[in-house]
A = this chain, B = another copy of it.
Amino acid sequence: MKKIEAVIREEQLPLVRKALEDVGYPGITISQVRGHGRQKGVTQTWRGREFTVDLLNKAKLELIVGDADAQRIAQTIAENARTGAVGDGKIWISNIETIIRVRTGETGDVAI
C-alpha cells in the first residue's frame, strides 16, 4: 500500500475532490496547513501598514491506496490542482507497511 500526501491550494479542493470521485478512491483525510515553497507570500494590510504573510493556507490531502492505484490517483490530483502559478503545491508518495480498518479489525489490502 502507498500513502499519497498532497499539499494544494484550498480553492482547488472542490475540483480535485470531484475528479477523485470520478476516478474512484477508497477514502481521504484532509487537514488545514500553512506553508510555502517557491511562492513568496502575499501582502496584507493591518491598520495602514502593509506586511508580507509568507505562510499561506493550503489543504493537505492524505490517501492510503493500493500499490496499483497510487500513480493514477496522484496524477488525478496533480492535474486538477494545477493553475500554473507558483503555489500550486506538491504531492509525495511513501510506503505503508500495515493498515487496519478499525470497525472490523481487518488488515491488509482489504482494509484500505
A positions within 8 Å CB-CB of B: 1-3, 6-8, 26-38, 55, 58, 60, 64, 71, 74, 77-79, 81-103, 105, 111-112
Contacts and interface: CB of A to CB of B under 8 A. Distances in A.
Given A93-B96, A102-B91, A27 B34 contact: no
B33 A33 contact: no
A32 B31 CA distance: 7
Given A7-B29, A31-B33, 4 more contacts: A71-B98, A77-B102, A88-B103, A92-B97
Nearest to A70: B98
Contact of A105 (B7, B78, B86, B93): B78
21 contacts: A1-B92, A6-B102, A7-B29, A26-B37, A27-B38, A29-B33, A30-B33, A31-B31, A64-B92, A78-B100, A78-B102, A79-B105, A83-B103, A84-B103, A86-B103, A87-B103, A88-B101, A88-B103, A89-B103, A93-B98, A95-B97
